[in-house]
Each structure stands twice: as C-alpha cells, then as structure tokens.
Amino acid sequence: MIENINFVNYTTSEWIDLILTSYRKIFDKDLISIDSNQSLEEVLFKANFYLVSHQYQNEPILVYANQKVLERWEMTWEQFIGTPSKYTAETDLQSNRAKMLAIAEKQGYFDNYEGVRISAKGNRFWIKKALIFNIYEHENEVLTDKIIGQAALFFNTENI
C-alpha cells in the first residue's frame, strides 16, 4: 500500500490533495468522488485509471503513482517514488516529452498526449490519450498560480 513519503514540503496525503484540487481548478470538475466510508487515498490508489505525478525539484522527481501505474511500470512504490520522471521515457524520446511538458506548463494542461514508455523490466508500451496537467501550490489552503509539479492521467496503454 501507499507508504507515507515526505516530498519537499508535502506528505503523500497533502500531495494527493494538491493533485485533486489542481485538477478541479483547471477542469472545473472532480477527478473522483467518494462516499463517507471511503478513504480518498485508497480510492485514488485503486482507481481504474493511471495517475502519476512529479514534483519540481532540481529536476522533476516522481512523487505519486497509483496501483495501475506501478503495475504497468513493473515497479514497487519504493522503486518508483524518487525516480527522475524523465526516466519513464526512453532516452531518444525524452526531448519530445520535455516539449509536451513545457506546453502543459504554459496552458495548464496538454490533452491527448501519446508516447512510448518502458517498464523496469524493459517492456515497451504506448500511453494513449493522456491528459497532462499542472499541480499548483497551496497557500493558506488556497491554490496559487505557482506550478510545483505535473500529473498524467490516462486510461489506456498498449504493448509494443
């Protein structure tokens, strides 16, 4: 299950809140809904979509992945979290990925991204129709315009 890792200034639970409130800020709707008997962290972790995010540090570092992402990349939480996010793409495709992330940063999101990724075991796969969106910092429990990371949300992958 999710180990509580302290990211730069954020716990896992706080980061999840930032993902969800940033999504709501950009798209004016909730990514998930839960009832009072459910844990937000558990529902997001076991969701039927892929959700991964990085936080800006010296370079973008992976700080969240739900269960589908961990299974697809064939990694544990401990292996995945803390990895530079550029390593989720093959070396020759990293410049295309960087360009897409820059566009997402400027406009708040990038829709219908597709790209090749590689798992820890060397299995290559396509990400299909990914939605990349910015994660914004909180200040006094209100989102600011300061971008502190990005998330990717997608529903489909395809083996190569």
pLDDT, one tens digit per residue, over 144-155 is 889 999 999 999
| pLDDT tier, 81 (very low <50, low <70, confident <90, very high otherwise) | very high
Would 142 be classed as within a structural domain?
yes
The reply to whether the predicted model has a pTM over 0.85 is yes
Would 6 be classed as within a structural domain?
no
Q: Residue 56, SS3?
A: coil
pLDDT, one tens digit per residue, over 51-62 is 999 998 878 899
Q: Do 111 and 157 contact (CB within 8 A), yes or no?
A: no
Would 120 be classed as within a structural domain?
yes
- Round to whole Å and give the CA distance between 145 and 74: 34
Q: Residue 48, SS3?
A: coil
CATH number, position 82: 3.30.450.20
Q: How many domains does the chain have?
A: 1
- Round to whole Å and give the CA distance between 153 and 130: 6
**Span 103-122, average pLDDT:** 90
Provide the domain limits for residue 22: 12-159
CA angle 128, 150, 34 (to 5 degrees): 80
